[in-house]
Amino acid sequence: MVSPLMTVITFAATLGSGLMAGLFFVFSAFMMTALSKLGASQGIAAMQSVNVTILNPLFLIVFMGTAVLSLVTAVAAIWNWSADGSGWLLAGSLLYLVGILAVTMLFNVPLNDALAAVDPASGEGAALWERYLDVWVKWNHVRTVSGLCALAAFIMALR
C-alpha cells in the first residue's frame, strides 16, 4: 500500500516533470528557431539574457525541487519494489534525474557558460552561436522527451 505522503510526493514530481517538459518544449519547438533568425549578435544577447533571467527562485524550486522529489520517489520505489507502480515510479525518477538534471548539468549548462563568456558582436561569438544552436538544441530535445516520459511514468505510477 502506498502512503498518502508518497502519493502527494509523486503527484508533485508529476507536476514538476510536466512543467519542465513544457519549458523545454517551448525552446525546442520555437524559441531557439526564433533566436536563430535574429542573427548571431542579437541571438546571443537574447539567450544570455534568458540564461540569467531563468535563474530565479521559482524556476529553481521547480527544477531542483522535482529532482529532490525524484530522488525520494526512486528510493521509495526500490524500498517498496513489490508495491504496485514501483517500476513506473523508478522509471519516472530516473528519466527526470538522468534525462533532465544530468543532461542539463553536463551539456546545457557548460554551453550556457561558454555563451555567457563571449562577446555577442565578435567573430568568436558568431562561431560559438552556430555550434550552440546545433548542440544545445539537440540536448534540449533530450530534456523535452525525458520530461514527457517522466511525466507519463509518474502518471502511470499514480493510477
Query: Each residue of 109-159: pLDDT tens digit?
Result: 999 999 999 999 999 999 999 999 999 999 999 999 999 999 999 999 999
pLDDT, tens digit (0-9, with 9 covering 90-100), for 6-19:
999 999 999 999 99
pLDDT of residue 117: 97
Residue 67: name the closest of 159, 157, 156, 143 by CA.
143
- Grid coordinates in use for 126? 558568431
pLDDT, tens digit (0-9, with 9 covering 90-100), for 69-110:
999 999 999 999 999 999 999 999 999 999 999 999 999 999
Single-letter amino acid, residue 60: L
Q: Is a pLDDT exceeding 80 seen at residue 22?
A: yes
pLDDT of residue 61: 98
Angle between helices 4-26 and 123-158 (to 10 degrees): 150
pLDDT of residue 1: 53
pLDDT of residue 106: 98
| Angstrom distance (rounded) from CA 37 to CA 17 | 30
In contact, 94 and 14? CB cutoff 8 Å = no
- Grid coordinates in use for 74? 526512486
pLDDT, tens digit (0-9, with 9 covering 90-100), for 31-62:
999 999 999 999 999 999 999 999 999 999 99
pTM: 0.96
Angle between helices 4-26 and 57-79 (to 10 degrees): 130
In contact, 54 and 104? CB cutoff 8 Å = no
pLDDT of residue 12: 98
- Grid coordinates in use for 132? 550552440
- Grid coordinates in use for 47? 539567450
Single-letter amino acid, residue 40: A
pLDDT of residue 2: 76
